[in-house]
Amino acid sequence: MTNIQNPDFEIIIESPGRINLIGEHVDYSGGHVLPAAIDKKITLRFKNNNTNSCFIVSKNFKKQFEINLDNLLRSDTEWHNYILGVIFHINVLKPNSVKGFDCEIESNLPLGSGISSSAALECGVAKGLNELFDIGLTDIEMITLSKDAEHTFVGTKCGIMDQFAVVKGKKDHLLLLNCETLDHELIKADFGDYKITLLNTNVSHNLASSEYNVRRDECNTALEAIQKKYPEYTLLAQVRPKVIREFEKILPKKIYNRALYVTKENRRTLKAVKALKENDLARFGELLYKSHRGLTNLFEVSCKELDFLVDFTQDLDYVIGSRMMGGGFGGCTINLVHKDYFDSFIEDAKAAYQEKFDLDLTPIKVAISDGTRKV
Ligand code: ADP
Ligand code: MG
């Protein structure tokens, strides 16, 4: 295995994970989301090897594999597919632009914790190859082809939020993204005396990849039923809550709940941005709790560990907001905690979590940082 400090590596890319303040599970329905790139990241080193093969090393997995560029097929090993898929989709856009290369991957992002190590990896590979072979891909092309790679090679029918946040993130700013139009606005991430901390349940969200696609199908089912009466709607998040309520007796309860969640969550994102702009942090935090209740009761993607952590914060006046973050079924909660109580909060949460589940809770302090970049 080559040393990651090897000076032969020509291109070094840092590709961050992301948080999402609010707007969960609405990107694939064309809703509004409020993510940001963070200081935890994947570092990828690339060099041209002048062959027709690629040699990829994951330092985290202590594993490597070889890719034959003449025969790009899905692999049975999940992590290979993130890289294979990106190469495949670059070649769809710009035929024969990827040549043989070596790549080393090293990460301080927890995997499968809802911080989007997957998008960090995809976008890091796309950016690195774009630089190494001077392919001329735009940011939007890298974002879209990374998402496509996750659909076709990995099999998760994700929305566009993760890749967008990872590539377009800006230090100290949140991204208000309209996932229908890709219009976006940078919002200053000013939480006053409150700091963001993630609490990693250390419960893996394995279920999430299958349930994720189920949720996506359920949202489509709701939309198709609504379109029979209102063909003007092309995405579920466009449908107003009032219109969804007309379908309460028509749609199966579960499908109705999914649709109601999506439209409400979409609105919550916009309300949260308004609250932030008005410096109304209490309102902002309240919306985070409402988002969590929706994810638990209507969208049903939470789990007992996440619910416990959110409930734990509910009556603490130094925590203004808390909710599960990411695909769900494990991973992290995101919390806004007063700086004076930060350390004691983490200690108390760890102790309570340990006692309840006999599991370690890992706090992850995050700073909002720039998106995928060449170093
Ligand atoms: P999340 O995106 O929330 O971290 P996912 O399940 O979507 O969770 O993606 C995690 C997967 O991404 C891992 O199981 C692995 O296949 C791939 N991955 C992420 N980081 C690395 C890494 N450093 N080395 C190899 N594969 C990685
Ligand atoms: Mg992911």
The verdict on residue 371 lying in a domain is no
Is the Cβ–Cβ distance between 77 and 65 less than 8 Å?
yes
Q: What is the mean pLDDT of residues 336-345?
A: 96
Cross-strand pairs, 63: 58
Order of strands, sheet of 173-178, starting from the edge strand that comes earlier in the sequence: 32-33, 173-178, 184-188
178 and 295 in a single domain? The answer is no
Cross-strand pairs, 172: none
Q: What is the pLDDT of residues 218-236, one digit of tens each?
A: 999 999 999 999 999 999 9
Task: Categorize the per-residue pLDDT at 3 as very low, low, confident or very high, splitting at 50, 70 and 90.
Answer: very low
Among all bound ligands, the one having the nearest atom to the CA of 82 is 1
CA of 119 to the centre of ligand 2 (A): 6
pTM exceeds cut of 0.85: yes
Asked if pLDDT for residue 20 goes beyond 60, the answer is yes
**Atom 16 (ligand 1): residue with closest C-alpha?**
79
184 and 209 in a single domain? The answer is no
pLDDT at residue 204, rounded to an integer: 80
* Domain termination residue (choose one: 134, 160, 188): 188
Establish whether residue 105 lines the binding site of ligand 1, counting it when its CB lies within 6 angstroms of any ligand atom: yes
Domain count, the chain: 2
199 and 292 in a single domain? The answer is yes
At 373, list the tokens. 């970049």
* Domain termination residue (choose one: 156, 188, 220): 188
Asked if pLDDT for residue 2 goes beyond 70, the answer is no
pLDDT at residue 200, rounded to an integer: 97
246 and 271 in a single domain? The answer is yes
Q: What is the mean pLDDT of residues 81-95?
A: 97
The one-letter amino acid at 364 = I
The verdict on residue 3 lying in a domain is no
**Atom 15 (ligand 1): residue with closest C-alpha?**
79
212 and 151 in a single domain? The answer is no
Separation in Å, CA 309 to CA 117, 184, 202, 372: 22, 31, 12, 31
* Domain termination residue (choose one: 154, 188, 222): 188
Residue 166: give its domain's CATH number: 3.30.230.10
Q: In whole angstroms, what is the distance from residue 129 CA to residue 46 CA?
A: 8
Q: In whole angstroms, what is the distance from residue 296 CA to residue 299 CA?
A: 6
Question: What range does the domain containing 310 cover?
Answer: 194-365
Q: What is the mean pLDDT of residues 116-133?
A: 97
CA of 168 to the centre of ligand 2 (A): 17
Order of strands, sheet of 319-325, starting from the edge strand that comes earlier in the sequence: 319-325, 332-338, 194-200, 362-365
- Residues belonging to the active site: 162
241 and 298 in a single domain? The answer is yes
At 141, list the tokens. 């092309």
The verdict on residue 1 lying in a domain is no
CA of 265 to the centre of ligand 2 (A): 20
